[in-house]
A and B are shown apart, each in its own frame.
Chain A
């Protein structure tokens, strides 16, 4: 997750639902009506790079008060709702991660670090292990004849961006290994 990491930048642009804890003048353009103040309890979607900072920093001038209310409150997004969690728990392999969010792991990791969510980490660990086995199966099945296009199959369309990278790397290494073995 470096500063110049394109995937990191893309995943940070994902919008999350939040609720404002204050009425702030001039910020109406976040809601779409320029020039008006933003209302307290207004629900809007903000990109994660903005929401993350605003959810930490409090509005109160005196920093020493511990329970200073931050500008906004992050609400649980759809991709981490109980429905999705149950789907993961039941069968991680058949889950269409790509349709939930194309940067699912990156975002879930950020969310878990933000809220110290041990349960989420546990679920993700099981999920990535099970899915990695399936990815390995698909990556290792290499057809030697490069003319025959490998049918991508349904599973590969459900991969998230980081899983795609994993699949690509392991597939290429399997393929090159095989090519090296059969040549001479």
Chain B
């Protein structure tokens, strides 16, 4: 399953902590893993997408307490430049053992930063837990705002949750009002840079997690690296995370792989298109992968 990257194990999992689940996007895996890692000293801080100056506009933040982590629960469907804090975390914050959550492109940036630390002195060895979240595409804030306010006719200040699933973009509010639009409508708002991305399930993370594949309230979790495996198993043992086998889970890995294949195939085609091989008069656009 090359589209899903290399992994040691895959689980259907959720948090063992009701407080985390109350506001988590899915199974609360990200918040639980970081909370466990903070409590036990595996990390001394985590870079997460915290609340920003406008509703649902994420702002990268360094959480050094479980309370701070709680403020970052839930998916913000807009770009949170989490890597912007990766060096500062080792400077004024004085962290030695950093956790970071990110979309697949951000986890790629973490690994590039570790192997080619051009402007990231002393950062490579200090990243100990990189949690990846599945990602089909992301939206610039202006686009997200328009999707919510114009297309969903919902004031963004009132939104309590957004999610993407089953071909729809959904917004939920306090009063339970639930507005949905077909994903087709959202395509023009996608961040163009997402269209060259060849990774759906954060193949280079220590642990990756997302909603697709498992029932509501649960997460699909890939445990990938040795560091990820050690931390995940301990979190399960300590009761922070409840992990079950993926066998027989519907819709299961099949759907994850189908979506990963669709994303990567579509974006590979776009990369080929950018090469302008069919148009002798057009120069190729730049390809970062060659």
Chain B binds chain A:
no
